[in-house]
Structure 1
Amino acid sequence: MQKVLKFLIVVVVAATVMFGGRWYMYVAQAESPYDEVGIALNGYAPAPLRAWGCHKMQARFPGQLPPYGCAGADGRSWM
């Protein structure tokens, strides 16, 4: 039982690091806000992380339309 629990913990931590790292790379260093994988990962992020990521991308890409998940009610303004 302990081996199974340790294995599950390692898998959860590894997945969190892998997907979290990829999400952060999208938010902080992507060349475009329209990266499909980044948009999908941002969509699955908890609301506070998604809001932080959208605000960071808005500062990095001020003249562009927001990607899906970062758009306001009209679809053309950032959240």
Structure 2
Amino acid sequence: MAGEAQRPQSRLALALTVACGILVAGFGTIGWRWYAYVTAGATPYDEVGIEVNRRLPAPLRTWGCERIRDRFPRAVPPYGCQPGQI
């Protein structure tokens, strides 16, 4: 077994691996950006955070809006966190 040469990976498998890696990195970046916005953002009116939060599934959006309301109790809720906006 130690002397056996490993078969080279096909181009399709390599392309799929790279595409998967890019996809995971993209979701991780967007997810981290959203999490930082709802838990530690300086303002509830960050455009990127609002857009990401607005496009998430309802349970995540609700959780994010609750965190924003807890952190900024006197601010008008951002777009997507007010009733009837989605």
Q: TM-score range by the shorter chain?
A: 0.7 to 0.9
Q: How many residues align?
A: 74
Q: Which of the pair has more CA radius of gyration?
A: 2
Match for residue 11 of structure 1 among 22, 47, 61 = 22
Is the aligned partner of 1:32 residue 2:32? no
Q: Distance in 1 between matches of 2:56 and 2:38?
A: 12
RMSD, matched Cα: 1.2
Q: What's the CA shift string for 1:21-60, capped at 9, x where partnerless?
A: 1111100011110111111111121211111000111111
**One-letter amino acid of the counterpart of residue 62, structure 2:** A
Task: Name the % identity.
Answer: 45
**Superposed counterparts of 1:61-76, under 5 Å:** 61-73=72-84
- Structure 2 gaps of 5+ residues are 1-11
Structure 1 segments, 4+ long, off by >2 Å, are none
Q: Distance in 2 between matches of 1:70 and 1:38?
A: 12
* Residue aligning to 2:6: none
TM-score by length of 2: 0.79
